[in-house]
A = this chain, B = another copy of it.
Amino acid sequence: MAVGELPLPEFYPIQGVRLGITSAGIKRVGRQDLVLIEAAAGSQIAATFTQNAFCAAPVQIAKKHWQTNTQGPLYLLINTGNANAGTGTQGLEDAMATCQGVAKLTQTPVESVLPFSTGVIGEPLPVEKILHALPQAYANLDAHQWVQAAQGIMTTDTRPKGASLCVQIDGQNVHLSGISKGAGMIQPNMATMLAFIATDAKLDAQILQKLHTRAVQKSFNRITVDSDTSTNDACILIASGQGAHLQSEAALQAFQQALETLQLALAQAIVRDGEGATKFVEVCVEQATTEQEALQVGFTVANSPLVKTALYACDANWGRILAAVGRAGVLNLDVNQIHIWLNDVCIVEAGARAASYTEEAGSQVMQQEEIKIRIALARGTVHASVWTSDLSHEYVSINADYRS
């Protein structure tokens, strides 16, 4: 299941960035499961990685290689079908072996290769299959294969996810293209699911990382499907530097905004395709004292199994929303000041059922596929949103059947 239609966009190719796809037969024969992304010499890479203490072998190596300054082109190697997580020392050796395969093929130092894996946890990575398939991925590197790459990184996703933008900054066209994957084990924590984004803009490396981190905090770090943080999350931003050179404060702000728009689209695409999702829900918390407080309430509501099953049942069960707000751990919360809306229907005023509320109005909102739960805390002026899906029978079926 997935919420609404969400076709892939027309991708703008990014000067200096090429993508190669092939089938290594990692989990299923014939499946396109191996993606190689090349960033030309001179590219900058910004990155965020999972904060899960059990971070997977490829994440550990990608982090290390990313921190090493190398000349020449950079390569991202991504496989699906196997997460290479919980695999101990062997896992690290296996991830390194695939990096060495790319290094040899491309005549670059091994530190130029960042590995990424997604799929089942705890199985040994089939290194031979990957090494065997690499030359084909390298041979078909092409700037126009974003669609194929989006398909090549899917796991339990029911559809590929991508976004692409062209914005005018300082009179020059700046292009951004990105792909993401993920449907379950989704509550990225200061990191994200797998997402790969590229731009042709030229930016100072430190500024690029700052803009990237800020955008991730406002997009991927505000979604949850099931409150579980993956071992393999990573979000990579390549700036090839072959296009507009952005330096002024105004230009950087414009770029930040474009980057946030793109990342939010990719993050929301993950929620819309959340495992078993039948609803796409924004939980917007207003009148909070701090962003942290707003997010705390937002995530408590978004992760409540009782709120999520009520959403699935199209039941305007405001009592469960109220109970979740009440247990979110906000100090000295005055519950008699709280207002809650479902889209435009006020369901709670001053901490109790709104006088104007009718079951019929609530029920009408709940029939919709996209719902906004708006919670006003009457404490301050800060607001923040998180995005989530519902908890359906299919979520249970998928995770009782699939071995992640």
Interface of A with B (CB < 8 Å)? Answer: 51-55, 83, 85-91, 120-122, 184-185, 189, 226-231, 303-306, 309-310, 312-313, 315, 317-320, 322-328, 330, 333, 335-336, 348, 350-353, 391-393, 395-397, 399-401, 403-404
CB atoms of A326 and B393 under 8 A apart:
no
Contacts of A85 in B (CB 8 A): 319, 322-323
5 A-B pairs in the complex with CB atoms less than 8 angstroms apart:
A85-B323, A226-B306, A227-B304, A228-B304, A309-B400
A317's nearest neighbour on chain B, judged by CB, is B403
Partner of A404, one of B185, B306, B403: B306
Contacts A53-B333, A327-B229 given; does A396 touch B404 at CB 8 Å? no
Give the interface centre of A55, A320, A395 by most chain B CB atoms within 10 Å.
A320
Q: Contact check: which of B228, B317, B403 meets A324 at CB < 8 Å?
A: B228
A315/B403 in contact, CB under 8 A: yes
- Determine how many copies of this chain the complex contains: 2
Q: A399 contacts B310, CB within 8 Å?
A: yes
**With the chains together, A309 CA to B394 CA distance in Å?**
11
User: Please, which residues of chain B bring their CB within 8 A of the CB of A395?
Assistant: 305, 309, 396
A312 to B324, CA, bound (A): 25
Contact present for A312 and B121 (CB under 8 Å): no
Which residue of B189, B306, B353 is within 8 Å of A122 (Cβ)?
B353
- Complex Cα–Cα for A391 and B395 (A): 10
Distance in angstroms from A225 CB to nearest chain B CB is 9
Inter-subunit contact B228/A330 (CB<8 Å)? no
Say whether B122 contacts A86, CB under 8 Å.
no
Cα distance A339–B399 in the bound complex, in angstroms: 24
Q: Which residues of B contact A326 (CB under 8 A)?
A: 52-55, 229, 231
Provide the residues of chain B in CB contact with A315, threshold 8 Å: 400, 403
**Which single residue of chain B is at the shortest CB-CB distance from A320?**
B404
CB neighbours (8 Å) of A328 from chain B are 53
- Nearest CB of B to A52, in Å: 4
Contact with A397, one of B53, B55, B393 (Cβ below 8 angstroms):
B393
Tell me the bound Cα distance from A330 to B53 in angstroms. 8
In the complex, the answer to whether B228 meets A400 with C-beta atoms within 8 Å is no
**Which chain B positions have C-beta within 8 A of A348?**
86
